[in-house]
């Protein structure tokens, strides 16, 4: 079959939050999309809203299922005949101290957020041409660690290793791999904790910037890294946190505020 004229992006976790906004960003910039997540109705809603702009192929599947990456890449190739970008965005947000992390919690987060992206990279790379790229969605907590970060931080750190390994191995073929590391962004994953004092302090007192981060901020960075504008960037981790991870504790409000009791 003839390959699609438009470039094609495969996005995991496209049913909400960062993945949904990223799909809209790529669609607005001329991409067709393969959207993967478990909530079919959300994916159908995305596809129908983008109908005039992009063709969106849906795969309703669990990224922890070892068969899903192969199915998703096969769908991209069968439908569009090309795959220009992979965004490994789906993630599970299980938070607990190491001492309270069960094997079941460990397995869930590793399966969804490390084995899943690893398998997607493995399946996608052989179909990618020079100029293609992969973006993994990590977290600033993956490089800093974090209170109650347990398996989540360990897995996000693992994605940095995967990113650098992919960059080293396939950069010479013109396939770039990078990682975006959001700070705290308001999505379904964080919504319930948004007004809690630690989040408010992190977002306002400890972040030297005058607004909260948005899913658009993350999507813009993902698109930039995928685009020709980012064509010499390979193996990098880009923090999207208003400067928090590099300046935390140094902004005036943090230095003058009282320590949280306990
Ligand atoms: N929000 C933040 O502050 C923040 C900060 C740092 C990093 N991140 C990372 O950003 C990524 C996106 O999260 P978000 O904040 O946008 O949260 P979100 O709105 O809850 O989105 C998570 C997405 O992942 C999908 N997903 C989760 N488990 C899946 C599974 N087993 N199989 C297939 N899809 C799965 C969900 O789709 P279904 O439920 O439909 O399957 C959903 O589309 C995650 O990797 C997260 O760790 C977020």
Domain boundaries, the chain: 8-188+213-242
Quote the pLDDT of residue 260.
Answer: 56
Q: What is the pTM of this model?
A: 0.96
Quote the pLDDT of residue 199.
Answer: 85
Quote the pLDDT of residue 178.
Answer: 99
Task: Tell me how far the alpha carbon of residue 82 lies from the centroid of ligand 1, in angstroms.
Answer: 25
Task: Tell me how far the alpha carbon of residue 135 lies from the centroid of ligand 1, in angstroms.
Answer: 14
152 catalytic, yes or no?
Answer: yes
Task: Tell me how far the alpha carbon of residue 79 lies from the centroid of ligand 1, in angstroms.
Answer: 25
Quote the pLDDT of residue 123.
Answer: 98
pLDDT string in tens for the chain (262-residue length) = 688 899 999 999 999 999 999 999 999 999 999 999 999 999 999 999 999 999 999 999 999 999 999 999 999 999 999 999 999 999 987 899 999 999 999 999 999 999 999 999 999 999 999 999 999 999 999 999 988 999 999 999 999 999 999 999 999 999 999 999 999 999 999 999 899 988 888 888 888 888 999 999 999 999 999 999 999 999 999 999 999 999 866 666 666 656 555 5
In ligand 1, the atom with minimum distance to the C-alpha of 138 is 7
Quote the pLDDT of residue 69.
Answer: 98
Task: Tell me how far the alpha carbon of residue 216 lies from the centroid of ligand 1, in angstroms.
Answer: 15
Taking CB atoms and a 6 Å cutoff, what residues make up the pocket around ligand 1?
12-13, 15-19, 37-39, 42, 62-64, 89-93, 112, 137, 139, 182, 184-185, 187-190
Quote the pLDDT of residue 80.
Answer: 98
2 pairs with which residues across the strands? none
In ligand 1, the atom with minimum distance to the C-alpha of 15 is 43
CATH of 8-188+213-242, one of 3.40.50.720, 2.30.30.140, 3.40.50.300, 2.40.50.140: 3.40.50.720
Pocket test for ligand 1, best of 56, 60, 187, 217 (most atoms within 8 A of CB): 187
Catalytic residue from among 152, 170, 232, 249: 152
């Amino acid at each position: 079959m003839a390959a699609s004229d438009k470039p094609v992006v495969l996005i995991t976790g496209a049913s909400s939050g960062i993945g949904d906004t990223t799909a809209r960003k790529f669609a607005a910039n001329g991409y067709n999309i393969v959207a993967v997540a478990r909530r079919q109705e959300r994916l159908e809603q995305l596809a129908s809203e983008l109908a005039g702009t992009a063709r969106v192929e849906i795969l309703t599947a669990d990224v922890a299922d070892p068969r899903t990456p192969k199915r998703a890449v096969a769908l991209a190739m069968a439908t569009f005949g090309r795959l220009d970008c992979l965004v490994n965005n789906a993630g599970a947000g299980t938070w607990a101290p190491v001492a309270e992390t069960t094997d079941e919690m460990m397995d869930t987060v590793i399966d969804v957020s490390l084995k899943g992206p690893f398998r997607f990279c493995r399946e996608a790379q052989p179909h990618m041409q020079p100029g293609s790229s992969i973006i993994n969605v990590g977290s600033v907590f993956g490089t800093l660690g974090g209170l109650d970060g347990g398996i989540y931080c360990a897995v996000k750190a693992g994605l940095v290793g995967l990113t650098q390994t992919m960059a080293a191995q396939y950069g010479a073929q013109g396939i770039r791999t990078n990682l975006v590391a959001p700070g705290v962004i308001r999505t379904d994953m964080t919504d319930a904790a948004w007004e809690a004092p630690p989040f408010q302090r992190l977002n306002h007192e400890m972040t030297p910037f005058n607004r909260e981060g948005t899913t658009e901020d993350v999507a813009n960075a993902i698109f930039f890294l995928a685009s020709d504008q980012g064509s010499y960037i390979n193996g990098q981790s880009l923090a999207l946190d208003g400067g928090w991870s590099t300046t935390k504790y140094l902004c005036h409000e943090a230095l003058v505020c009282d320590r949280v009791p306990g």
